Amino acid sequence: MTLTVTDLSIARGGIPVLQGLGFDLRPGTALVVRGPNGIGKTTLLRTLAGLQPPLSGHITGAEDTIAYAGHSDGIKPTLTVTENLTFWASVFGTAEIRPALEAFELNDLATRHAGNLSAGQKRRLGLSRLLVTGRPIWVLDEPTVSLDVSAVAMFATAVRAHLSQGGCALIATHIDLGLDAAVLDVGPFRAKPRPVTDFDGDFL
């Protein structure tokens, strides 16, 4: 499943933030979204996830294919780690939570109430949910917040495994995850490459 974005313009709070965005996200590939604070990265991800409409433009390939992880972990504090994952597995119609527990080293925390986890442990639980969605396109907003070095590596391993299985990922992040990813720079002052011309021919 390829996610295709064409001439997309988006707004937050009624104010336009980004215009004319276009890219393809193909199976097995990752795209890192970069740009300064407040430029509109979260707004872009929310729009891709269907949480808000675009001002104009087109998004194709996003119907029931996107698993979105935003700034909030979306975990249920009174349920245990296992119960949280079982709940999300039932929402998405998948049965298996063990790979998610293992990928984010949650087995020792499985019976703990999610509300009593540390910030980094909660983030690991939130990210592990991606694995029980069964969805091919991961749209992730600053996924490594609160993660220590080893948990960042855990997360990068999970993304690589997802890509190797034909999934894809669009990730807004300021850190280098060591992924072989293209970069979508939405900064306001990015240089536009000079159009390729017949340079020698111009002088003849």
Ligand X SMILES: Nc1ncnc2c1ncn2[C@@H]1O[C@H](COP(=O)(O)OP(=O)(O)OP(=O)(O)O)[C@@H](O)[C@H]1O
Chain contacts with ligand X (rule: CB under 6 A):
12-13, 17, 35, 37-43
Q: Which is nearer to ligand X, 131 or 181 (CB)?
A: 181
What order of strands is seen across the sheet that includes strand 137-141?
Answer: 66-69, 137-141, 168-172, 30-34, 182-185
Contact, 137 vs 168, CB < 8 A? yes
Q: Which is nearer to ligand X, 8 or 17 (CB)?
A: 17
Least separation in angstroms between CB 10 and ligand X: 8
Q: Which is nearer to ligand X, 40 or 54 (CB)?
A: 40
Least separation in angstroms between CB 17 and ligand X: 5
CA 109 to chain centroid, in Å, comes to 25
Least separation in angstroms between CB 18 and ligand X: 8
Q: Which is nearer to ligand X, 131 or 171 (CB)?
A: 171
Length of the chain: 204
Q: Which is nearer to ligand X, 48 or 89 (CB)?
A: 48
> CA nearest 169: which of 21, 29, 5, 24?
29
Neighbours of 4 (CB within 10 A): 14
Q: What angle do CA 45, 46, 48 make, to 5 degrees?
A: 65
Q: Which is nearer to ligand X, 17 or 59 (CB)?
A: 17
- Which residue's Cβ lies closest to ligand X? 13
Least separation in angstroms between CB 187 and ligand X: 10
Least separation in angstroms between CB 176 and ligand X: 16
Using the 8-state DSSP alphabet, how is residue 94 labeled?
-
Least separation in angstroms between CB 38 and ligand X: 4
Which amino acid, residue 40? G
Angle between helices 81-92 and 119-133 (to 10 degrees): 30
